[in-house]
Amino acid sequence: MITTLAIKNYALIEDIRVEFNEGLTIITGETGAGKSIILGALALLLGKRADLSSVKDASKKCVVEGHFSINNYGLQNLFEENDLDYEPQTIIRREILPGGKSRAFVNDTPVALSQLQALAPYLIDVHSQHETLEVVSESFQMEVIDALAGNSSLLKSYKIQFEELKKISEELSALKLQKESASKELDYNTFLYNELQQANLKKLNQQELEETFETLDNAEVIQEALANVNQLLEEEKLGALETAKEARTVLGRIKEFSKTVEDFWQRLNSVIIELEDIAIEVNNSAEKIEADPEMLFQVNEKLQTLYKLQQKHTVSSVLELIEIEERLEDKVNTTLGLDGQIENLEKQKSIVRETALKTAAQLHNKREEAIPVLKKKLEETLFPLGLPNARFQFELIASEDFKTNGTDALQLLFTANKGLAFGPLKKVASGGEMSRIMLAIKAVLAEYKKLPTIVFDEIDTGVSGEVANKMADIMYRMSKKMQLLSITHLPQIAAKGDHHIKVYKEDKNNVTATHLKILNKDERIVEIAQMLGGKNVSEAAIANAKELLN
């Protein structure tokens, strides 16, 4: 409930602060006194866009602040969902700065208008004869039926299932799009992958292959050169080995005479040993090397395959090709694995869908049971409000299309007169009828659900006499279960209030300003007497006002 409303520099209001209490608060005042200004200020608190033209003095800051007691509203989760700090005594403030910029705060934390708008339906519900969109909306009508049906727990279960179904459906759509896109590349990626796999890259050593190819491709030249080397080393008289051995023999005769000569002998001996090893290895290599056209062909094929793959993928090593092969394998496997993922999600979706359908069917059945009760209560409530022949028809149709509140479609048909056909509520009900229907619905709803503060803005327009008394009775009964504010011109309704606020204008220093005043008992008698008989209050009007108040 709202406990305090403070308004500064807004429209005709310079600076006011008013306290609100539980029960029924009546707001009265002459036409143009500024009652609509209070509604405008409340609208700012509930997230309406600010307008600099509504500021009294554009050179100063405009501030509207509301204090709300929400301890019994169970709004902790709502605050958390909207990233707001929860306080049992919550303060909402709107500021319009001189430049026209608007700011909003919840418990002194800056917030976006969308966050205020998310809170609004749980704090204050404003109704007027000209604003009846809520009553004709299917979601609101279903909310009323669900309140009577006691569907709160079922709706929570269904919403969890609905969100899960929605999430799975979104994942499925994303996977199917991914598959569609990946399938177009699958054949090409598979071809590239198979091509690299067939090359058996992990068993290839490019350097060894290239050396083997050069050896086989030049076998005769190598054999001839090695034979020549062997000849140069081992020729009987002119070979390097024979010459070196002769030199060693000569040095051997004199090595004992000189340390230097002995060193020469040692070094030459080492050279001879090395030359002998080289001669043996050259001879062995020459024997091993022989022309092998078939092996040469195989090695050349492997190398050409390798060179083509490197050129195709613009790389220069086998390692890089192996990395590309692994990436292609991942892509191919991912694409092929999508079918399995899709199949699993389809199974999950089917299970969740069946569960949600069962819950929706339970909701439907309980709604069917509640509709006759709601129909009877509405018609009984409207009877004394000047609509004795008002009749309703609720057409509840189950489908398999999932909505946020089940699978039902609802159409509310209405007729106010005997002999006239039923028609959609928004088409056949007049403004006066719609306001009374709205009051009846809220009155019924208040019996089954914790409602926010309701503000009725002159919904009693066009009503008088006994109907006004009955309307006042309904508001009074409602106010025992909730906070209710009623802006009214009817003395019958004004007299039912627990509290009474008068809105009036006053001229001071050639400036008109709107003021609010909380009336005491004597002041209420005068105010209601003026509502009955005009400004010139008669004794009869005073007596009548006292009678109404009693």
Q: What is the pLDDT of residues 70-98, one digit of tens each?
A: 998 889 989 998 888 899 999 999 999 98
Q: Which of 264-273, 355-364, 422-431 has the highest mean pLDDT?
A: 355-364
CB 246 within 8 A of CB 280: no
Which three-class secondary structure state does DSSP give residue 34?
coil
pLDDT for res 311: 81
- Domains recognised in the chain with CATH numbers: 1-123+452-519 (3.40.50.300), 182-331 (no CATH)
Tokens for 94?
Answer: 């709107």
pLDDT for res 272: 83
Q: Is the pLDDT of residue 217 over 60?
A: no
pLDDT mean over 153-177: 93
* pLDDT range class, residue 220, cuts 50, 70, 90: low
* pLDDT range class, residue 333, cuts 50, 70, 90: low
Beta bridge partners of 18: 5
pLDDT for res 212: 67
Between these two residues, 230 and 426, which has the higher pLDDT value? 426
Q: Is the pLDDT of residue 151 over 80?
A: yes
Q: Which residue has the tokens 């501030």?
A: 63
Instruction: Say which amino acid occupies 91.
Output: I
Residue 286, phi then psi, degrees to nearest 5:
-65, -35
pLDDT in tens, 501-541: 999 998 888 888 899 999 999 999 999 999 998 888 888 99
Q: Is the pLDDT of residue 129 over 70?
A: no
pLDDT for res 216: 61
pLDDT in tens, 31-65: 888 888 899 999 999 999 888 888 888 889 999 99
* pLDDT range class, residue 371, cuts 50, 70, 90: very high
pLDDT in tens, 437-491: 999 999 999 888 888 999 998 888 778 788 989 999 999 999 999 999 999 999 9
What one-character DSSP code corresponds to residue 203? G
Identify which of 2, 71, 75, 79 has the alpha carbon closest to the alpha carbon of residue 41.
2
Q: Which residues contact 220 (CB under 8 A, 6 or more apart)?
A: 291
CB 52 within 8 A of CB 100: yes
| Residue 297: how many other CB atoms lie within 10 Å | 11
Between these two residues, 115 and 462, which has the higher pLDDT value? 115
pLDDT for res 146: 95
pLDDT for res 461: 78
pTM metric for this prediction: 0.69
| Angstrom distance (rounded) from CA 191 to CA 46 | 62
pLDDT for res 299: 66
Residue 176, phi then psi, degrees to nearest 5:
-65, -35
pLDDT mean over 152-173: 94
What does the mean pLDDT of the chain come to?
86
| Angstrom distance (rounded) from CA 145 to CA 136 | 14
pLDDT for res 284: 75
Q: Is the pLDDT of residue 194 over 80?
A: no
